[in-house]
Structure 1
Amino acid sequence: MSNRHKPVPYSLWEAQQARIVLAASKRLNWRRWTLPEQVEHLLSLYGPLPLIEARLGEQSALTAFYRHCLHEKQGPWRDQCAGLLRGLAQKRTELLWRPELAPALAAVAKCMPHRCRQLADWHPRSRNPFRQLESLVRHLFDQYGDVPAWLINSWTAGRLHDGLDVAALTVHLGRGEALRTFPGLPVPLSRKTEHYLRLAPAGYTFLHALRYAQLAARDQLGWLGPVLDSRLGRCLGRDDEFWLRVVDFFAAAPMVDPYQLGPVCDWIHQKRTVGLGDEQAQPGFSLKGRSMHSLLAHTAQWHQHLSQAARRPPEPSLTLSTSWEPLPVPDFAGGGKFPVRITQLRTYGELLTEGRSLRHCVASYLDACRRGRSGIFSLTLNGTRTVTLEVQANRTVVQARGLFNRRPNDEEALWVQRWAAHNRLLVPRHLLS
């Protein structure tokens, strides 16, 4: 029997329609239109994303704005997005030429009912689209001009959900409300911590600004670098007060290398959440009655245990060839005849070899790699392993450690910066300074 009357699968029909629209779009050169004409054309479009991408171009700015501002938006939110796009088009702003700013403009549109000024009264003073976005956010939502610079920077850096809702916090502070009364804060704030949080440097993430404020309130701002270099600069949990007491413990110890804080925090985290060797996890682990010498000794023993883990795999099914899906960050080669390489480690055996070579605990990041939360990279100079790098899934380089957890030297830091710039990775200021 013939199959010509058999219904066509929806995915096949959608692909056919995409090809039809793509053929038609070749005769429609919307890039020569004015911005208001482009916006009106965009607002007239409806349908699934594949059809829109075929018509406008998958990587085009209009496609990005349709995806974030119009696709599956209904009712008032779509009207707010349309009003914002029309208003920006009339201003002939460069904001509409940058597809990476589409999520931020969608957040601006969602917050428009809470604006303190009208869009028509905004006049961009710079041709830089990122400065225009900062100016637009301050104009619409910062009534008194005192929203912290690091919070405004989060809009342009694509960190709208940086441990909290950045857009909602901007509206909250823009009204003149106290930061500590914001309902979305992950930890409670004292008045003193709130004061310093408002003074945190521009360019900081929320977590880094919070650490800055917490240490400033404790008069321990000199420990900011080691704290941001440790797990305290990467995660924030319910037991945050315990980890601040660990910092107090280090600050009170005489003649201790501040950058031993990171390895010791890794050892404490392992002991509290997973357990060491045959020991069970100890969630109630306390520093009471312990000395700095004993903490450093236990950390060193743990590193030695990890270096021997190839003979005692932690799971029966775990082998040296156990692998995982790597992060989408390409490897790097540079220098004359490529003596510099930065390569992502993809197997458990490679993690062990890296840890044994540089005498640190990188093998303990096995679970983070397997879950896709982190990727571990190895920097080699002339074939010699020199620095281990951790990149989180949000494309931020959060750790850079050499032999015995030392910090990178100037040459190594230069290559890390070149690799990060080539792959558009974020490198916090403290990491290589």
Structure 2
Amino acid sequence: MKRSMIQRRQDAERERIELCNAALRRVARRARLTPDFSKAIEEAERGFSGEVVRDPQSWHPQMKTRDAARLRLAAARHLFALYPVHAMLERIWIDDTGLGADEVRLRRQWYVTAARGGSLYKAGASTWLTRKEVHAFLHPTAGLSFVEAFWEAIARSYTDDPALALRIARSKIGRTPREEIHFWREVARFFCVNPASLETIDDLCDYLAECRRGDPGYKLEGRTLPALIRRMHEWHHDIAAIERIEAMRRRVHGRAASASTANAVWAGSPLADWEWVPSSKEAKAKGERFVVRQLKQAEDLVMESRAMRHCVSTYAGKCIAGRASIWSLRRCTKERIDRLLTIEVDQQARAVQVRGLANRLAHAEERNVVERWAKARGITLR
């Protein structure tokens, strides 16, 4: 049956009213949740129930915030704080992102100790800080994080310049593992004695970390800032050389071959490395032995070039293409390893170049060792 005009108008009005009601339901303010004070007090007390200074049940805050982190901090203040504590210590109750469980526990323990008026030095800080440094840590420059305040305290024990201490605190020194504090403390002391810009400190931290990885016994004793900067630039130059060699290898072997390693490596000669131990009593007493090792990695080739002060790193293209192989003769004793000669061998197993430091010719003793190696591996000496 056909609907009348009045009915159609009534249906349209009902549809309009329903749309308006739906829009109102979407924008209507939802009821705010009640702050969960009991959860906040439980999270703050967890693990420290024996150190509270106030009854948890007596906490009746007049707070409107629903932020769980801020509620947790307020609960911690109620439970433990007899004295005001710096914001960098309180931060652990608000945000512990990226921290392991042990680190979270340590920072909260330091907060509890400081807030109760206890000795942070006796509570475990003595593992890393002196009494003077603990005092400085508890009174840091405003705006510093926990780690920055830690390193500012160390730097302030070596310098009276607050700007320099702040620079060190904000450098990459503060991002180093606390387990290696003895080495990085020496680095902080070095920069207090040899002031540098923040950019220079950060660049040198990268270089020193690499030195530390290569030699766990690496020390800064006796080194100067200009010498370190020079060596750092040499290191950057070596990295660039390694990257050029890697790019060269990709062009020869394709990108798929480079996916397996971050450093350029090539197959090299099928000849095996060689070792000879002299039979004399003097050599045995020193633990002396001679080793000839093939260099089949970009980093090794660049380091050989740097140590021997010649251009063997430019031979990488020949090595990658299989037209040559590079060998290093070294004398090893109980105390040290000395590089003696760098040897180039061509595809016909001929030693076409034998050079020592700064491209010098081989000494008589070195020639004797090379002849033994050549005879053992079927190599022709020119």
TM-score (norm 2): 0.49
TM-score (norm 1): 0.44
